Every structure is written in structure tokens, then in C-alpha cells.
């Protein structure tokens, strides 16, 4: 019996000893994968910048225009689209009489412009997420101050509840709403929600018991709304980053397919 009891104990000890090692190995492996992806991205972007320098001004202007119109379509569509198919179709209409290799080269250059625009727009959304985090932090601080003051005046609040229940409930309805403003990024019209204007955090020491209770209710409602907006903006950013990864992959695929012929093709584009 004693031996049977020791087996689970020994297993538990082994798990405790090996678990940190397993976690370390997993984190190390994940870090290596991320670093490899970053290196690959840097390599593709550096290569694309070199190709981009070969474009003459008129061809470059057409590439930029194509990337903006394609980007708008990409981010206004609710369904996943075939990037290569749709961009090839659009560019064939714009650049009539071009060979399939020339079309692929233009597609790659258009994707690069789209990638750069998306990079700027993602920064715009990230900046808004930082503002949202600051807004949530301030509201949490207000809530903490209100709750501390409420605990000091608990008896007073209970008395006011008995006499002013109707007034308090009316105030709650009047003060809990925030205006949600949906905006679009400056380049590709990616939709996100701007951080709303927040109610002013008042000095809790100067508030009555019922005002404190109302302020706590309102601040909780504001925090809940901010959390909802934050989640929507994070989803918008994740969607943008997924599409950016697809764009990067398409650029890489075309570059590998055309190999050494790319420079000559791009230099001859009009």
C-alpha cells in the first residue's frame, strides 16, 4: 500500500520538476519562430523596396492608385477574397496588352503599396487602442476613489436609499450613455471606433451619498462600454494584420516565381 501511494507522489514531483523546463522549451521555440518570421518579413520588404526604386514616375502613380482602390475593396468586403485573382483582374483592365509576367510584376508592386498603406493604418488603430487603455485606466481610478468614499459613508447611503430611491434611479438612466463614433483610417478606410468623450471624474469627498452611488453606477457602465469598444477595435486590428500577412505571402510567392526576370520587367513598365 505504501509503495502504491509513493508512485503518485513521485509522478507529481517529476511533473513539478519537468514542467518549468517544458514551458521554457515551448517559449524558446515560439520565440525562434517569431524571430524567423520577422527576418523573412524584413527580407521581403527590403527586396520590394529595391524593386520599387526601378519604377518610373508614371508607372508608380498607377501602382499607387491601384493599391488604394484594391485596399478599399479588401477592407469593405465582409467575406474573404482571393487577393491574387481580384488584383490580377483589376490590373488587367488597367494595363491592357501586358503579358502575364508583367501583370504579376505589377500585382506584386501593388501589393507592396497596399502593405505600406496598411502598415500606416494599423499604427492609427494601435494609437487609438492606447487612448482606449488610458481612458479605461482613468475610469478605474475614478471608480476606486468613489468606492473608497462610499465605504466611509455607507450608513448615510442606506438612509438616502429609503427616501430618494426614485430620484436615484432617474439619475442612473440619464447619465450612463456614451456616444460611439465609428471612423475610417486615412488610407484604406478600415473601420474602427474612436475613444468616446468621458464624463468628468468629480471629487468624491464633495459628493453626497446618493451622488456617490450614482457615480459608481455610471462609471461601471462607462467601463463596460469602453471594454466593448476596445474589443471591436482589437478585432479590426487583427483582421488588418491577417490581411497584411496574406499580402506579404502573395508578394513572396510572385517574387519566387519570377526570379531574375523581375528587374527587367519592372524597369520597362510605363
140 Cα distance to chain centroid:
23
What whole-number distance in Å separates Cα of residue 252 and Cα of residue 46?
A: 12
Nearest to 223 by CA among 198, 194, 192, 193: 198
Mean pLDDT over 101-127 rounds to 91
Helix runs in the chain, H state only = 2-53, 57-76, 83-94, 100-152, 154-175, 209-258, 262-267
Residue scoring higher pLDDT (118 or 1): 118
Mean pLDDT over 86-90 rounds to 87
How many other CB atoms sit within 10 Å of the CB of residue 29?
A: 10
- Read off the pLDDT of residues 177-197 as tens digits, 9 standing for 90 and up: 678 899 999 888 889 999 998
> 109 burial class (0-12, 13-18, 19+ CB within 10 angstroms)?
buried
Each domain of the chain, given as residue ranges in start order, spans 1-47, 122-237
How many other CB atoms sit within 10 Å of the CB of residue 86?
A: 15
Amino acid at each position: 500500500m505504501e509503495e502504491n501511494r509513493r508512485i503518485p507522489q513521485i509522478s507529481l514531483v517529476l511533473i513539478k520538476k519537468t514542467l518549468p523546463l517544458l514551458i521554457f522549451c515551448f517559449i524558446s521555440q515560439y520565440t525562434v519562430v517569431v524571430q524567423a518570421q520577422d527576418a523573412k518579413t524584413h527580407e521581403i520588404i527590403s527586396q520590394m523596396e529595391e524593386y520599387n526604386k526601378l519604377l518610373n514616375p508614371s508607372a508608380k502613380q498607377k501602382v499607387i492608385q491601384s493599391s488604394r482602390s484594391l485596399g478599399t475593396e479588401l477592407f469593405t468586403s465582409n467575406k474573404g477574397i482571393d487577393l491574387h485573382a481580384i488584383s490580377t483582374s483589376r490590373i488587367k483592365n488597367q494595363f491592357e496588352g501586358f503579358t502575364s509576367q508583367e501583370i504579376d510584376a505589377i500585382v506584386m508592386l501593388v501589393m507592396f503599396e497596399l502593405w505600406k498603406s496598411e502598415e500606416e493604418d494599423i499604427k492609427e488603430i494601435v494609437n487609438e487602442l492606447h487612448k482606449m487603455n488610458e481612458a479605461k485606466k482613468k475610469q478605474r481610478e475614478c471608480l476606486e476613489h468613489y468606492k473608497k468614499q462610499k465605504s466611509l459613508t455607507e450608513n448615510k447611503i442606506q438612509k438616502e436609499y429609503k427616501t430618494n430611491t426614485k430620484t436615484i434611479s432617474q439619475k442612473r438612466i440619464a447619465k450612463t450613455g456614451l456616444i460611439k463614433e465609428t471612423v475610417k483610417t486615412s488610407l484604406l478606410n478600415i473601420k474602427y471606433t474612436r475613444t468616446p468623450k468621458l464624463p468628468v471624474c468629480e471629487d468624491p469627498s464633495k459628493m453626497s451619498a446618493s451622488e456617490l452611488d450614482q457615480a459608481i453606477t455610471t462609471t461601471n457602465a462607462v467601463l463596460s462600454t469602453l471594454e466593448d469598444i476596445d474589443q471591436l477595435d482589437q478585432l479590426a486590428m487583427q483582421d488588418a494584420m491577417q490581411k497584411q500577412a496574406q499580402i506579404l505571402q502573395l508578394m513572396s510567392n510572385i517574387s519566387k516565381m519570377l526570379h531574375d526576370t523581375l528587374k527587367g520587367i519592372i524597369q520597362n513598365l510605363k
